[in-house]
Amino acid sequence: MENIEVILVDEQDNPLGQMEKLEAHRQGRLHRAITVYIFNTKQQLMLQQRAFSKYHCGGLWSNTCCGHPFPNESTQQAAERRLNEEMGLKLSLRKITQTYYNLPVTDGLVEHELGHIFTGYTDQLPELNPEEAENFRFASLPEIEQALMASPEQFTPWFRKTFPILVKQFQAGE
């Protein structure tokens, strides 16, 4: 894994410094993150199955992509960069909200993040980066809700946390 720095923040998203990404996850330090949800014109969400080789949660289904802003990079820039890096899609994204979570993941790591959530639309099929994504699929929000209830262990912890927030945003018409 590359030596990538994440931005440590307080609960109001004020920067507190930087730390190597894996170390931040080992220590469970609060840091800034981005989560991207891409829909097609049928209102289906593009889900990503994480590459089996990922350092945590490999093989689990999740949102379209996610990641961390580099120091001196906006969350908007980071979301659009990660979408291109992981899924080969170049889109303009819209921030819909942000959320806080502190979730244990695999291998004793912790996702303690202030997550900025972005959405976008395309009917273009992704070109998966095999180091990031094993597979993808489109599903309606009700289909995903059913899958989450039936087999939550097949999804990443942060997806289980952020997906209901996305559903509420859609129900509110945002």
Which positions are catalytic?
A: 66, 113
What is the Cα–Cα distance from 89 to 66, expressed in whole angstroms?
13
For β-strands 61-62 and 5-9, DSSP reports them as unpaired
* E strand or H helix at 86: helix 75-87
Residue 110: both structure tokens together: 């912790």
146-149 CB contacts, 8 Å cutoff, 24+ apart:
147/61
What is the Cα–Cα distance from 55 to 147, expressed in whole angstroms?
24
Residues with Cβ within 8 Å of 27's Cβ and at least 6 positions away in sequence, in order, are 19, 110
